[in-house]
């Protein structure tokens, strides 16, 4: 099993820190300081509701098929990952299948592990392909529009995020050591309720006791995912040890693009050169589930990650759960 190719879609509208901060008035300087600490400079935003999470995912998928010369009927599995899905029924994956004119005996389903979702989806799809010989090609799509669902007054959080989608194509190939090698998870749900979307749960959406604004993303004042960061180092080192690898064998550590400062801390704790940790959060903002794979896309596109290279994908989602996966391109 191998990664064939990747493709990215983002809206046309780019917004800089300075442009976004105009909305904050006197607080602009403080917000820019927060965004710069997290590593933000620019991000892309969809200007219309027609350019939705699903729309972006379909566009990324179409671009990937065009790039690889495949058709929708070649796909044996389609998985759509998001924390801001457009639909619960039918699945967003069903609409991707429809748009690509997929075949009848194609596996389609949605995956939601929030911001770690695409890492988890690729892990699970790859493992399924290993045991299911009927699946030759699997399409994994990750798409997110987080900023749209923050409360109007939460400009600090909105400014951290950007809108973008990524599609990756996996192929089952015999007699190759490329592809997924292994994964390691960490989950701590002691304060799972500290981030909620929609606030109060799906059953509250149609209730009249809450306004539309109150149903948007709820964040506890002390919400963070800091508990997962040390486990990134622990899980990465465990994977390397279990497979007889040294850190020098790894060419890239592709991590969640949530916080550049955290990426630097993880690099320091691993005692690795920061150049092995690509960062694109200054271009795209934080794109949730798709963020590690957009970073992977650019590493491949830029030629810094080439076939035969070993690399790590790691991310963390609300809940809290995180996953580290070890791959060979």
Q: How far apart are CA 172 and CA 4, in angstroms?
A: 10
Strand-pair partners of 250: 310
Residues of the chain below pLDDT 50 = none
Question: Do 17 and 147 belong together in one domain?
Answer: yes
Structure tokens at 154: 């939460």
Give how many domains the chain has, as a whole number: 2
Domain that holds residue 88: 2-171
Same domain, 220 and 158: no
| Residue 23 sits in the same domain as residue 146 | yes
Q: Is residue 313 a contact partner of residue 115, using CB atoms and an 8 Å limit?
A: no
How far apart CA 8 and CA 164 sit, in angstroms, is 7
Q: How many whole angstroms separate alpha carbon 213 and alpha carbon 193?
A: 18
114 in the same domain as 15: yes
pLDDT at 310: 98
Which residues are within 8 A (CB) of 230 and not within 5 positions of it... i.e. 6 or more apart? 269
List CB contacts of 185: < 8 A, sequence separation 6 or more.
235, 321, 322, 323, 324
154 and 6 within one domain: yes
Considering the domain architecture, whether residues 197 and 132 belong to the same structural domain is answered as no
Q: Is 271 buried (19+), middle (13-18) or exposed (0-12) by CB count in 10 A?
A: exposed
Q: What is the pLDDT of residue 209?
A: 84
Token pair recorded at residue 221: 């004042």
- Same domain? 140 vs 194: no
158 and 210 co-located in one domain: no
Among 171, 193, 222, the domain boundary falls at: 171
pLDDT at 207: 79
The pLDDT value recorded for residue 32 is 96
Element (H, E) at 273: none
The verdict on 166 and 30 lying in the same domain is yes
Residue 247, SS3?
Answer: helix
Scan for tokens 């960490």, then name that residue.
186
Whether residue 50 is found in the same domain as residue 142: yes
Q: Do 275 and 138 share a structural domain?
A: no
327 and 154 Cβ atoms separated by less than 8 Å: no
Domain boundary among 171, 203, 222: 171
Please give the backbone phi and psi of residue 272, each rounded to the nearest 5 degrees, phi first.
-115, 155
Residue 189, number of CB atoms within 10 A of its CB = 9
CA angle (264 as vertex; 258, 267 as ends), nearest 5: 115
Q: How many CA atoms lie within 13 A of 197 on its CB side?
A: 21
Q: Cβ neighbours of residue 108 under 8 Å, at least 6 residues apart?
A: 77, 78, 79, 91, 93, 94, 96, 97, 102
Residue 110 burial (C-beta neighbours within 10 Å; 0-12, 13-18, 19+): buried
- CATH number of the domain that 84 lies in? 3.40.47.10
């Amino acid at each position: 099993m191998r990664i064939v190719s990747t493709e990215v879609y983002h809206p046309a509208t780019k917004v800089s820190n300075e442009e976004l901060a105009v909305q904050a008035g006197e607080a602009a300087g403080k917000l820019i300081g927060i965004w710069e600490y997290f590593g933000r400079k620019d991000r892309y935003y969809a200007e219309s509701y027609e350019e939705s999470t699903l729309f972006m995912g379909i566009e990324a998928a179409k671009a990937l098929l065009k790039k690889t010369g495949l058709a929708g009927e070649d796909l044996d599995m389609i998985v759509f990952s998001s924390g801001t899905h457009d639909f619960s029924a039918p699945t967003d994956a069903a609409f991707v299948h429809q748009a690509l004119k997929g075949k009848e005996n194609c596996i389609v389903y949605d995956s939601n592990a929030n911001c770690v979702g695409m890492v988890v989806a690729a892990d699970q799809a790859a493992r399924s392909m290993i045991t299911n010989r009927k699946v030759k090609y699997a399409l994994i799509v990750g798409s997110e529009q987080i900023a749209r669902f923050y409360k109007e007054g939460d400009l600090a959080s909105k400014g951290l995020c950007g809108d973008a989608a990524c599609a990756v194509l996996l192929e089952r190939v015999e007699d190759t050591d490329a592809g997924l090698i292994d994964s390691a998870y960490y989950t701590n749900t002691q304060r799972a309720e500290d981030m909620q979307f929609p606030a109060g749960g799906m059953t509250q959406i149609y209730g009249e006791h809450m306004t539309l604004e109150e149903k948007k993303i709820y964040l506890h004042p002390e919400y963070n995912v800091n508990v997962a960061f040390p486990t990134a180092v622990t899980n990465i080192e465990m994977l390397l040890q279990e497979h007889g690898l040294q850190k020098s064998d790894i060419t890239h550590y592709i991590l969640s693009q949530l916080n550049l400062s955290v990426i630097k801390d993880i690099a320091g704790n691993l005692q690795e050169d920061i150049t092995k940790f690509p960062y694109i959060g200054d271009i795209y903002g934080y794109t949730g589930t798709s963020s590690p794979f957009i970073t992977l896309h650019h590493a491949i596109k830029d030629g810094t990650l080439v076939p035969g290279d070993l690399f790590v994908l790691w991310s963390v989602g609300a809940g809290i759960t995180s996953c580290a996966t070890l791959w060979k391109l």
